Chain A
Amino acid sequence: MGKIIVMTSGKGGVGKTTSSAAFATGLALRGFKTVVIDFDVGLRNLDLIMGCERRVVFDFINVINGEAKLSQALIKDKRIDNLSILPTSQTRDKDALTREGVEKVLNELSKDFDYIVCDSPAGIERGALMALYFADHAVIVTNPEVSSVRDSDRILGVLASRSRRAEQGLEPVTQQLLLTRYDPERVERGEMLKVDDVLEILAIPLLGVIPESQAVLRASNVGMPVILDEASNAGQAYLDSVSRFLGEDVEHRFVTPQKKGLFSRLLRRSA
């Protein structure tokens, strides 16, 4: 049986899709059969980030409505064998997601895949609820600023009350924090919340801290999950996070400003 992971945040624009793409790719790199599903019906983005937008014929909603078979809608990643993408519809809206339909698709996927990564839309409405309802694990994507933290807190409350595991009284959904767009220098200047500030409010384990990085935008534009850019901080931070997700003990990096080299220190002194 595959494990269902939801990438969620409440707030928009914090990096759910980037993280979903990176995380699913990371799990596939580690040898797990992984599929990543776009739940943002009507605002289809995941296919762009994954670089498969020109191969979309059928989508998630077609499968829910019985207009296509799952195998027709699944897109195999060209770079990594174990990775598939289930894109969503750009023309429909969130009402197309029915609980029975989503359940049917997830059940079918969990027979073949080890991990099913659900890329949630923003908000706490139908799309987000459907993305998190069947989850076994939740990765809460949060930026180090107060509104994102508050919305993440809200979504944690929703997970604890309106997920399938909560409604059926099963073991609760495990929750981990992925702190994205973290800029240690701005944190040091007091312009951003510290990791500890966020953890104090959300009170869930830290899965990883992804530093603010130009590599993310660069990767998005070329349709490559940033985790494949192993030279970048962000890529390395996602690799670390995947390792931690799989239970490995990896030290957190990129949480303090990088030591200034002799050259930049000299420059600063003369300035």
Chain B
Amino acid sequence: MAAVSSARQGADRDGPFQLRGNSFTMMVLKVNDPASPDFFTQLAVKVRQAPNFFRNAPVVLDFEELTEDTPRFDIAALVTNLRALYLLPVGFRGGPRPVHEGALAAGLTPMPAGRAAKLESAATPAADPQAGAAPIPAPPPEPIYRPALLVTEPVRSGQQIYAEKTDLVITAPVSPGAEVVADGNIHVYGALRGRALAGVSGDTNARIFCHSLEAEVVSVAGLYRVSEDFGNDVLKKPVQIFLRDGYLHMEPQ
């Protein structure tokens, strides 16, 4: 099920760098009227409401509302003023040609156009300056929560359990010949005697936890180790397994 490759581990881990794709969630600051005298005062009010949330937050500037007729404005100054509010503009999207060129000159990265998440509504109360008197901490963007897959019965030889896009929690033993797989972490509150593959969709932060490590194979994000290579310090012990610096680490608890 998991694309297990030790070759990749060998190729990457010795080099001075690793190139990997990743995706990040960023705020988009939609710029409607950059020339407005209230632009920074209103933005400052909003930032003050949730200073921790906004501090050093990477921001993508959205110029899609601007047209050729929009008066010229100094993009470098805009960036400087945003930094003064502890926002870190990293990219931009849209905008007429002069704006586009100005943004590139200011060191911003052009981003592909996309659909914005509804972050704006989370911080809406700030739009009303009167309501802004009592600071309400704006909640961070709600992650889409997927409850962990909970298994309370022993996982038997020949059975396979896959926790898609979530964690797997097993409160019973996992037998030899069984396979437990998760996109997230795997917790086994019992003996782990089968195969356990965590982070199978590539999450290198995934971990495996078990009460007694007697597994046939363990793997995190495709890096694996077979039981033959388990040391006596971890065998039949409570163990945590995770990736660090491209290596699979097994730590007795």
Contact = CB atoms under 8 A, between A and B. Distances in A.
A205 B177 CA distance: 21
B67 to A, nearest CB: 61
Given A157-B159, A161-B159, A150 B153 contact: no
A160 B175 CA distance: 14
A203 B157 contact: no
A201 B158 contact: no
Nearest to B194: A153
Contacts of A160: 153, 156
Interface in A118-161: 150-151, 153-154, 156-158, 160-161
A4 to B, nearest CB: 21
A200 B173 CA distance: 9
B159 A201 contact: no
Q: Which of B156, B172, B191 has the largest number of chain A CB atoms within 10 A?
A: B156
B157 A157 contact: yes
A150 B154 contact: no
Contacts of A161: 159
Nearest to B153: A160
A157 B156 CA distance: 5
B179 to A, nearest CB: 11
Interface string B157-198: 111000000000000110111100000000000010100000
B191 to A, nearest CB: 8
B157 A153 contact: yes
Interface residues of B, number: 15
Contact of A153 (B156, B172, B191): B156
Nearest to A157: B156
Contacts of A200: 173, 191
Contacts of B158: 153-154, 157-158
Given A157-B157, A160-B153, A160-B156, A150 B177 contact: yes
B173 to A, nearest CB: 6
B158 to A, nearest CB: 5
A153 B175 contact: yes
Contacts of B172: 203
A161 B191 CA distance: 21
A160 B159 CA distance: 10
B217 to A, nearest CB: 16
B153 A201 contact: no
Contact of B173 (A150, A154, A158, A203): A203
Contacts of A201: 173, 175-176, 193
Interface string A218-248: 0000000000000000000000000000000
Nearest to A155: B156
Interface in A194-232: 200-201, 203
Contacts of B177: 150, 153-154
A158 B178 CA distance: 12
A156 B173 CA distance: 13
Contact of A154 (B153, B156, B191, B193): B156
Contacts of A156: 154, 156
Nearest to B160: A157
B153 A153 contact: no
Nearest to B173: A203
Contacts of A151: 157
A200 B175 CA distance: 10
Given A150-B177, A157-B159, A158-B158, 17 more contacts: A153-B156, A153-B158, A153-B175, A153-B177, A154-B158, A154-B177, A156-B154, A157-B156, A157-B158, A157-B178, A160-B153, A160-B156, A200-B173, A200-B191, A201-B173, A201-B193, A203-B173
The 4 closest A-B pairs by CB, nearest first: A157-B156, A153-B157, A154-B157, A154-B158
7 contacts: A153-B176, A157-B158, A160-B153, A161-B159, A200-B173, A201-B173, A203-B173
